[in-house]
Homo-oligomer: A and B are copies of this chain.
């Protein structure tokens, strides 16, 4: 049995416009890494967090990574073991890029490997969701599922949990533009309307059906036509200076679609080539600059394999 394992879990884009609360996709980069070491001394210790600027909780029962590991160890009946955990935090916090999910998933994949992979990735999902409950107050799966499994993942239902990969032969690229403002998940939840018109609900239905159909039949134009959101974007756009201009310019630059990643403030673009994704993200960055906002860019392929052990 190996004594030390390091794993990588990617950033994820939840919602994907019409897939509000039910769809997510993983990117190849960036992502978080977690190193887990078996120790003689029992208990779970979060020995170090690198890269968070001291902002994340150091207590094992409050950090998503160690909360997930603890939940996992209870399930596989290994509560008498000792593990030391180091989190390499590459994802910006509160960015809408699935930062808390990536830490939890990387921790789970590492510790599961340490014990000889007794659980499948799908079986790890509830433990990652438990960590999301600590981080966000709700055990949602639309970040953790794609971070674990890779690709596009549909979370059809929660009672019981029904997370299903959405296969596609399309080679798609994702651009992320993270403007340096913070939007609290609670605030971005609060602006949502508790009801929607039946007309809007049907429109969103048509688009999410179109997105799934476009992905599974490799119809890239249908994917592009379907990337619209009437549930959240109209209200959350106000949190992001220059949102409408940024989106328009990204589409003009050749992106298939553009929207708010998770609950923001990061914007994502989906594109058919790395060059188009680069171009669209650079245009968005310029719009943010015109609003005195600096931002970070990330461009990579859609991640097909999900979280992985890396040593």
Contacts and interface: CB of A to CB of B under 8 A. Distances in A.
A202 B164 contact: no
Nearest to A228: B157
Contact of A216 (B22, B197, B203, B216): B216
Interface in A91-107: none
Nearest to A205: B208
B205 A19 contact: yes
Contacts of A212: 209, 212-213, 216
A249 B248 CA distance: 51
Nearest to A194: B198
A73 interface: no
A213 B164 contact: yes
Given A154-B206, A156-B226, A166 B198 contact: no
Contacts of A205: 18-22, 201, 204-205, 208
A258 to B, nearest CB: 18
B194 A196 contact: no
A18 B22 CA distance: 15
A204 B22 CA distance: 10
A195 interface: yes
A230 to B, nearest CB: 10
Interface string A13-41: 00000111111000000000000000000
Contact of A192 (B198, B204, B213): B198
Nearest to A21: B202
A193 B198 contact: yes
A167 interface: yes
A103 B192 CA distance: 44
A198 B231 CA distance: 8
Given A222-B164, A225-B156, A204 B201 contact: yes
> What are the 3 closest A-B residue pairs judged by CB atoms, nearest first?
A216-B216, A201-B201, A156-B210
27 contacts: A19-B205, A19-B209, A20-B202, A21-B205, A22-B206, A22-B209, A154-B213, A155-B206, A157-B203, A157-B207, A162-B210, A164-B210, A164-B213, A164-B222, A166-B213, A193-B198, A194-B197, A195-B197, A198-B231, A201-B201, A201-B231, A204-B205, A205-B208, A209-B211, A209-B212, A213-B216, A216-B217
Given A21-B202, A156-B209, A196-B196, 17 more contacts: A19-B209, A20-B202, A21-B205, A22-B205, A154-B209, A154-B210, A154-B213, A156-B207, A156-B226, A157-B207, A162-B210, A164-B210, A196-B201, A200-B201, A201-B204, A205-B205, A208-B209
